[in-house]
Amino acid sequence: MTTRKLIAALLASAAMATAAQAADLRIGLQEDPDALDTAQARTFVGRIVFESLCDKLVNIAPDQSFTPELATSWAWSDDGMKLVMQLRTDATFHDGTPFDAAAVVANIERSKTLPESRRKSELASVESVAATGTHEVTFTLSKPDATLIAQLSDRAGMMVSPTAAAEKGLELANSPVCSGPYKFVERIAQDRIVLEKFAEHYNADNYHFDRLIFLPIPDTTVRLANLRSGDLDMLERLAPSDVAGVKADSALKFESAVSQGYQGITVNVNNGPRSETPFGKDKRVRQALSLAIDREVVNQVVFEGVYAPGNQPFPPTSPWYDATNPVPARDVEKAKALLAEAGVDRISIEMQAANNPVQLQLMQVIQSMVAEAGIDISIQATEFASMLEQQTQGNYQSTQVGWSGRTDPDGNIHSFVTCGGGLNDSKFCSETVDTLLNEARTSTDPAVRKAKYDEAGKILSDELPIIYLYHQTWLWAMSNKIDGFTPYPDGMIRLAGVKKAE
């Protein structure tokens, strides 16, 4: 081979490598997701992966209005007891199984009946679901449910292949088969999740990456360093302390959106033997801990003032926020008095926290604050999915954990505090709260619903099975080669129309 030909071959090889690299999108996640089965999953980062892997019946727009996805349209009966959806006729699952009304029926029934399903409470109002046409499905409800469309815009509405679900059972979580723009390739726990483009997707032309590589990197400093070095193209949940630096870096772009969710402390009040502590059994101890925390100082010290202090499941920007129940000021003396009333001089509490620097810094600040009131927190840094597993099993006293938020207010509260709620790891149970939140589900009048949430909120602010701390702003950083990214208030990464320059 002549020198000229060798140089040409090397240049061609380099060009091919560059093109291949440009066809991949590498996304840094703050945690490793849990089960990649839409019925079993519960993590925020899992939803980010699902957004590209599993199409939903309904999606949302940046303004939080509902938009068609696998369902092209829908209509309620006059009495609110039936929901009829028209479905796409050009969608298919990654294994070739056709998407139709029968597939929707199979998915909804699986979510309602699978023993391990976390979607049961989200679909509790659905009495039955039937294929009333090849591409028409009818939900019949046991009572009106204003939240159902919102549920179908999240994991309860994500469709998996009925063929794969029947064949794999719970193993579907290890090799999911959906109908989204990208299909599953491999997962190595704590290392990576790889998806590749699904050429048969009905909107494939609007997706511009051959592969998506999701990389769990809990350390925010390391995650940003990987972005700056080019090993990542994008990261979610940029640390607030890094916002100014990213904005000043011409090689990077910054995006943000106010969150729908919250961060707080979930307390084990009735989930097995580990709830048998003063913290779990006496609300005055929980009230004391809450009063010993200065939420505004937490926001300034840990989050550079970017987030919003909170004491409710809804952020202050939400129409569902109860303005008559503002964030309490820190009151160490009152906290001490409450402990004394509970017969406690000084108390030690174990608290799980995700093993990333931001959450651990948060816990250290809280630890220092509450110690002044006589509460000693032992911080247990834990990998996120393992932390949730321990919480579900009742093998915890308390956990610093949050929720990414939902478009409908029901999604921020019902599953966490109702007696049979699928995400009620506290096992708090109040018939009054159940009644109020169940009634809020049945009305389509926002004023009626808000009154119910406000009333339930007052009880929860007294009992404190969840001690709310703050509301996040979603922060993204990405290479300046990324174009077309739109920030959404649910924190998801939607890739339709997103491109990366070579």
pLDDT number for residue 41: 96
177 and 93 in contact (C-beta within 8 Å)? yes
* CA angle (468, 470, 471) in 5-degree steps: 115
Q: Which residues pair with 24 in a beta bridge?
A: 211
Indicate the SS3 state at residue 242. Answer: helix
For residue 10, being part of any structural domain is answered with no
Among 107, 134, 169, give the residue marking a domain's end.
Answer: 169
**458 shares its domain with 373:** yes
Please tell me the number of Cα atoms within 13 Å of 106 on its side-chain side: 15
Distance from C-alpha of 57 to C-alpha of 59, rounded to nearest angstrom: 7
What the block records as the tokens of 379 is 């911080």
Distance from C-alpha of 388 to C-alpha of 404, rounded to nearest angstrom: 14
Tokens 């549920």 correspond to what residue? 151
pLDDT number for residue 434: 98
Report the sign of the C-alpha dihedral through residues 263, 435, 153, 56, in that order.
positive
437 and 229 in contact (C-beta within 8 Å)? no
Angle, helices 295-303/357-371, rounded to nearest 10 degrees: 140
CATH number of 216's domain: 3.40.190.10
pLDDT number for residue 446: 87
| φ, ψ of residue 59 in degrees (nearest 5) | -125, -175
**429 shares its domain with 396:** yes
Distance from C-alpha of 103 to C-alpha of 105, rounded to nearest angstrom: 5
CATH number of 303's domain: 3.10.105.10
Domain holding 416, by residue range, is 262-471
Per-residue pLDDT of the chain (502 residues; tens, 9 = 90+): 444 444 444 444 444 444 444 599 999 999 999 999 999 999 999 999 999 999 999 999 988 889 999 999 999 999 889 999 999 999 999 999 999 999 999 999 999 999 999 999 889 999 999 999 999 999 999 999 988 999 999 999 999 999 999 999 999 999 999 999 999 999 999 999 999 999 999 999 999 999 999 999 999 999 999 999 999 999 999 999 899 999 999 999 999 988 889 999 999 999 999 999 999 999 999 999 999 999 999 999 999 998 989 999 998 888 899 999 999 999 999 999 999 999 999 999 999 999 988 899 999 999 999 999 999 999 999 999 999 999 999 999 999 999 988 889 998 999 999 999 989 999 999 999 999 999 998 887 889 999 999 999 999 999 999 999 999 999 999 999 999 999 998 999 999 999 999 8
Q: Which residues contact 94 (CB under 8 A, 6 or more apart)?
A: 161, 177, 178, 179, 183, 184, 198
Instruction: Count up the domains in the chain and report the number.
Output: 3
* CA angle (47, 201, 181) in 5-degree steps: 25
Distance from C-alpha of 73 to C-alpha of 87, rounded to nearest angstrom: 7
* CA angle (365, 388, 413) in 5-degree steps: 80
For residue 15, being part of any structural domain is answered with no
**29 shares its domain with 114:** no
Tokens 């969150």 correspond to what residue? 259
C-alpha distances in angstroms, 99 versus 31, 82, 198, 248?
A: 31, 22, 15, 47
**317 shares its domain with 194:** no
**370 shares its domain with 409:** yes
Among 101, 134, 169, give the residue marking a domain's end.
Answer: 169
**421 shares its domain with 448:** yes
C-alpha distances in angstroms, 53 versus 213, 236, 256, 499?
A: 12, 17, 23, 18
For residue 13, being part of any structural domain is answered with no
C-alpha distances in angstroms, 185 versus 214, 434, 468, 472?
A: 12, 42, 38, 32
| φ, ψ of residue 76 in degrees (nearest 5) | -95, 150
180 and 99 in contact (C-beta within 8 Å)? no
Tokens 């028209």 correspond to what residue? 86
Sequence length of the chain is 502
Distance from C-alpha of 489 to C-alpha of 256, rounded to nearest angstrom: 9
Q: Which residues contact 502 (CB under 8 A, 6 or more apart)?
A: 18, 19, 22, 481
pLDDT number for residue 442: 87
Q: Which of 35, 384, 25 minimizes the C-alpha distance to 176? A: 35
For residue 44, being part of any structural domain is answered with no
**99 shares its domain with 243:** no
Query: CA torsion, points 193, 194, 199, 205, in degrees to nearest 10?
Result: 80
For residue 404, being part of any structural domain is answered with yes
Q: Which of 230, 440, 201, 439 minimizes the C-alpha distance to 320? A: 440
Among 169, 191, 220, give the residue marking a domain's end.
Answer: 169
For residue 11, being part of any structural domain is answered with no
**417 shares its domain with 271:** yes
What the block records as the tokens of 145 is 């449910």
DSSP H or E segment with residue 59: strand 58-60
Tokens 């009054």 correspond to what residue? 432
**344 shares its domain with 465:** yes
**408 shares its domain with 392:** yes
3-state SS, one letter per residue, for 248-274? CCCCEEEEEEECCCEEEEEECCCCCHH
For residue 100, being part of any structural domain is answered with yes
For residue 324, being part of any structural domain is answered with yes
**331 shares its domain with 189:** no
**220 shares its domain with 239:** yes
- How far, in whole angstroms, is CA 443 from its chain's centroid? 25
- Predicted TM-score of the model (pTM): 0.75
First to last CA, the chain: 30
CATH number of 85's domain: 3.90.76.10
